[in-house]
Amino acid sequence: MTTGSSSPESDAAGSAGAPLAVELRGITKRFPGVVANKDIELRVRRGEVHAVVGENGAGKSTLMKTLYGEHRPDEGQILLDGREVRFRNPSDAIAAGIGMVHQHFMLADNFTVLENVVLGSEPTRGGRLDLAEARRRITEISDRYALGLRPDDLVEDLGVGDRQRVEIAKVLYRDARTLILDEPTAVLVPQEVDELFGNLAELKREGLTVIFISHKLDEVRRVADSITVIRRGTTVGTADPRATTTKQLAEMMVGSELPLPEKRESTVRETPVLELTDVRVDDGGGRPAVDGVTMTVREGEVVGIAGVEGNGQAELVDAIMGLRPLAGGEIALAGEDVTSWSTRARREAGVGFIPEDRHRQGMLLDAPLWENRILGHQTRPPASRGVFIDRSGSRADTARIMQEYDVRAPGPDTLAVALSGGNQQKLIVGREMSATPRLLVAAHPTRGVDVGAQAAIWELLKDARAAGMAIVLISADLDELIGLSDSLYVMLRGRLVASLDPASCTPEQLGGYMTGARTEAGAA
Ligand SMILES: Nc1ncnc2c1ncn2[C@@H]1O[C@H](COP(=O)(O)OP(=O)(O)OP(=O)(O)O)[C@@H](O)[C@H]1O
Ligand SMILES: [Mg+2]
């Protein structure tokens, strides 16, 4: 191992000479058929932000779950402040000062900030929940770390950045001294990322230690004091963010060079594939979630929609897929009015779908990969032959997708739950692209996939577009939106508030429209 970050000279964090808060020695964790972690070493100093990077399936989440007491290592030792600990479960880890924010938030939507934070660790006075005391502590935590939380806000009304701060507050409320954040920025727009990094700086100032996982290497270099790179389950080295380029980091991770999405000649043809006319969707509470959206997507065109999460993009996608009824307006597919069609009818008419929440919409986690391969595609080959499910055909085609899309798992009979986040995503992309749809609705198609797989998915989308596929692209990755889109809209409070030229706009400009800081007179 190189030890670029342990040099004695002081750095901005002042943590270079600090004692080790966390040390993992020789951690090995096996699952049936997979060695997820193999003899991993991780050394994290007190008061630093330590990034862990690596390809999809490299073993990052597994390692963090081991540190958090969700897994027990088969071999190796965990040391906190130089003393060995053994955790039976997360409660043990919490008691030892470890907290974890998982990538999928685990908040209860219809509860307040206060309720969510205390849930599971209610302070009691005479056996009863002491709300006044809980409120006092939350306010204190929020002030001390500049989290800006209001205890009585309903979580369902909060944006994604605030939800994340509630998760962080929940961990701090339990007196964590070391915070693990698993891909915290995957769902954030640039302004929110800046806010989060501001919060991390506050945590550091108070002497807390942060372990941070991300696939966004520029960001890692910006925020981390030191970096550990893991590859195929084992540590390949540490890097000093100030002395390592993004390119070098990527090469340490995957061992190859990576292209950025660049523009190609326009492939937009005349024929409209999807036409939305004044589409309206209610949010269930009588308020408009989508408030009069009109747009056209043509053959060979990628239409990108940018927006801070929670501004109606998810509802718009649901409307296009027939997952939610319209409160008004019309949807046409290849010239035919499909407004009243079922999701299944739309899919059979050639609409592919990469859903935003793969756990809720795209996958059956407890089913094998081959069943996930045919999910939503049951009625045509290779899933079925006549009226029967074709198991062997499905298995063979799953194996093909695993090969072509680099889904790393033992085989088609592996359960989806055993795949790393990025590998689940690659399987869904492979499944949807394999049906060669006329229209592809892609919500965050590369969320959680590593830089190598991201470049591969970009290439696939560009090839499909060149072959005439129409694509609606929703993404929180602004480089991806700018790099892939032929037309680009910004969605804010249910409306398309700006139409931008991807050839000339920058991520900063886009971000400005997304938060409403910039406005455009002639918007749709
Ligand atoms: N519960 C489980 N059962 C079986 N195998 C598992 C389980 N959890 C993880 N694995 C396997 O362990 C390996 C490491 O997975 P892990 O989730 O730690 O990867 P990761 O580095 O977090 O990847 P990503 O960036 O895609 O989230 C993968 O091969 C995965 O399939
Ligand atoms: Mg992971």
Q: How far is CA 230 from CA 63, 107, 423, in A?
A: 10, 30, 16
C-alpha of residue 420 to centroid of ligand 1, in Å: 4
> What would the pLDDT profile of 121-145 be if each residue is shown by its tens digit?
755 556 666 788 889 999 999 998 8
The pTM is what?
0.76
Per-residue pLDDT reduced to its tens digit, 314-339: 999 999 999 999 999 999 999 999 99
| Ligand 1 atom at minimal distance to the Cα of residue 425 | 26
Q: From the CA of 215, how far away is ligand 1's center (Å)?
A: 15
Average pLDDT, the chain: 88
From 31-35, 59-63, 356-360, the region with the lowest mean pLDDT? 356-360
The residue nearest atom 10 of ligand 1, judged by CA position, is 418
Higher confidence at residue 11 or residue 89?
89
Neighbouring residues of 113: CB distance < 8 A, sequence distance ≥ 6: 138, 149, 150, 151, 152, 153, 155, 158, 166, 169
Q: Looking at residue 13, what is its pLDDT?
A: 43
pLDDT digits (tens, 9 = 90+) for 102-116: 877 778 888 999 999
What number is the average pLDDT over the span 485-506? 92
Residue 64: pLDDT above 70?
A: yes
Q: Which residues, including other chains, have CB under 8 Å from residue 120's CB and lie 6 or more apart? A: none
Identify which has the larger pLDDT, 98 or 357: 98
Predicted pLDDT at 218: 87
User: 57 C-alpha to center of ligand 2: Å?
Assistant: 7
The verdict on the CB of residue 322 being under 6 Å from ligand 1 is: no
In the chain the domains, ranked by start, together with CATH numbers, are: 1-97+209-258 (3.40.50.300), 269-350+437-524 (3.40.50.300), 359-436 (no CATH)
pLDDT of residue 437 exceeding 90, the answer is yes
User: Whose Cα sits closest to atom 16 in ligand 1?
Assistant: 59
Instruction: Choose between 262 and 119: higher pLDDT.
Output: 119
What percent of the chain clears pLDDT 70, i.e. is strictly above it?
92
CA of 16 to the centre of ligand 2 (A): 27
Average pLDDT value for residue range 206-232: 93
- 17 backbone dihedrals φ, ψ, rounded to 5°: -100, 5
CB 36, CB 29: distance < 8 Å: yes
The CA radius of gyration of the chain, in Å to the nearest whole number, is 24
